[in-house]
């Protein structure tokens, strides 16, 4: 059975890698082929040099994704069939036991993963983003962010991991139900504390002080029946010139956040339309539905892990010859993305459906044409390609293609 699992896993790794490389090549070829002319739907709104910048940015990022894929697959195979996870187990089991052993093992893999990702992140930020004029982050800010993220991972992750490992070892064969309940509660807690305690560690949030814009936004909130704890402007320009807006939190902790880069670029009616789109996600219960889907999927995943964690062939088939709770958890976390990758187009389809619905909501509660003009500016400012490969877009894109999205809004 272990040899069968090994063959299935290697086949899945190979198939998913080939598929991702093929889709990336399609995207590169399609974007380059359409680089020479602005699509007709945008010819009167976007200049050729902006369209070509977006094409070059997309091609550069897609080519880089192939390098990232090669690094990820090499790391995965090194940990499994290369004996990396077995070596880490041998090292820590000779020095620790029980829960401390499990925490040390999991954190070791997390540390190695972060270490391998570090040069990739540096290249992405200070070479790719820098060369296209998007990076505003200094090396000092990058290091400060990394230090804060590491500290948060230790402070929050350690007790959470201890709780999960303890439940797995103490609650019998039905441990996965208890872990699922803890995981749901933990995620909801993070959603509640993130706006007030975590986000301010990385960015400065100031109340929206533009009186006219505030009045317009508050009128929109009243029309939509949305209660918010405040309207804030975030210093997104500290790190990037990309613009965005979002709302976060639940209940009385809900707050609306605008990137300063977004407010600098859009007119008040356009800001209102973008916010109406975001409110659409909330009013149409997209956020709750996604959380519900996440919790449902996590229950299925944990139930599956509950069936595998005591099976010797599960460990042997993935290159590990010892058994432990932490080893089983790590092996499952490493292997499951390979098999779940084929769910990507389904999740993308669901996301695009929600985006269309939020656009319709925005058209009903604000100006459809203001949302169109805002989207065009955001496409241009963020160098989002207007000519993605249809199959690549179908597989990956969480938002509808620009031309189709604009057409639907214009029809509204």
Residues with a catalytic annotation lie at: 278, 359
DSSP state of 285: T
How far, in Å, are 1, 52, 239, 372, 403 from residue 41 at the CA level? 56, 16, 32, 12, 7
DSSP state of 342: G
- Residues 142, 120: Cα–Cα separation, whole Å: 13
The residues, ordered by sequence, that sit 6+ positions from 168 with a Cβ below 8 Å of its Cβ are 175, 176, 179, 309, 325, 329
Specify burial of residue 264 (Cβ count, 10 A radius: 0-12, 13-18, 19+).
Answer: exposed
How far, in Å, are 27, 169, 202, 385, 409 from residue 143 at the CA level? 33, 37, 12, 31, 42
Q: Burial letters for 103-142: b for 16+ Cβ neighbours within 10 Å, e otherwise?
A: bbbbbbbeeeeeeeeeeeeeebbeebbeebebbbbeeeeb
Position of tokens 């930020």?
125
Q: Can you say whether the dihedral through the CA atoms of 131, 399, 15, 312 is positive or negative?
A: positive
- Residues 230, 205: Cα–Cα separation, whole Å: 11
Contact 254, 197 (CB under 8 A): no
| Residue 300 CB neighbour total at 10 angstroms | 10
Cα pseudo-dihedral 51, 54, 56, 61, rounded to 10: -160
């Amino acid at each position: 059975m272990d040899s069968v699992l090994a063959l299935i896993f290697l086949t899945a790794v190979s198939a998913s890698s080939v598929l991702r490389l093929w889709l990336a090549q399609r995207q590169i070829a399609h974007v380059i082929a359409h680089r020479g002319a602005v699509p007709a739907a945008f010819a009167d709104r976007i200049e050729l040099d902006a369209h070509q910048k977006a094409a070059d940015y997309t091609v550069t990022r897609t080519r880089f994704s192939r390098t990232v894929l090669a690094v990820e697959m090499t790391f995965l195979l090194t940990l499994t069939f290369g004996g990396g996870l077995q070596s880490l187990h041998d090292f820590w089991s000779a020095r620790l036991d029980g829960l401390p052993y499990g925490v040390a093992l999991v954190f070791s893999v997390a540390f190695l993963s972060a270490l391998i990702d570090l040069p990739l992140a540096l290249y992405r930020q200070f070479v790719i983003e820098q060369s296209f004029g998007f990076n505003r982050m200094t090396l000092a800010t990058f290091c400060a962010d990394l230090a804060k993220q590491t500290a948060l991972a230790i402070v929050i992750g350690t007790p959470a991991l201890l709780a999960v490992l303890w439940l797995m070892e103490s609650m019998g064969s039905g441990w996965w139900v208890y872990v699922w309940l803890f995981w749901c509660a933990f995620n909801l807690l993070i959603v509640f504390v993130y706006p007030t305690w975590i986000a301010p560690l990385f960015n400065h949030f100031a109340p929206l002080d533009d009186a006219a814009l505030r009045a317009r936004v508050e009128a929109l909130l009243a029309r939509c029946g949305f209660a918010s704890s405040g309207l804030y402007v975030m210093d997104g320009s500290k790190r990037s010139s990309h613009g965005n807006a979002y709302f976060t939190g639940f209940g009385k902790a809900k707050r609306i956040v605008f990137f300063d880069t977004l407010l600098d670029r859009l007119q008040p009616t356009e800001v209102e339309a973008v916010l109406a789109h975001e409110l659409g996600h909330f009013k149409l219960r997209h956020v709750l539905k996604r959380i519900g889907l996440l919790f449902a999927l996590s229950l299925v995943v944990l139930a599956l892990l509950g069936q595998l964690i005591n099976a010797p062939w599960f460990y042997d088939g993935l290159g590990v010859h010892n058994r432990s709770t932490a080893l089983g958890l790590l092996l499952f976390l490493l292997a499951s993305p390979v098999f779940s990758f084929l769910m990507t187009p389904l999740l993308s389809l669901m996301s695009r459906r929600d985006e269309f619905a939020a656009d319709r909501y925005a058209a009903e509660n604000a100006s459809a044409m203001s949302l169109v003009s805002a989207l065009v500016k955001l496409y241009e400012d963020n160098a989002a390609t207007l000519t993605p490969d249809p199959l690549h877009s179908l597989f990956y894109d969480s938002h509808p293609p620009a031309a189709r999205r604009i057409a639907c809004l214009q029809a509204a």
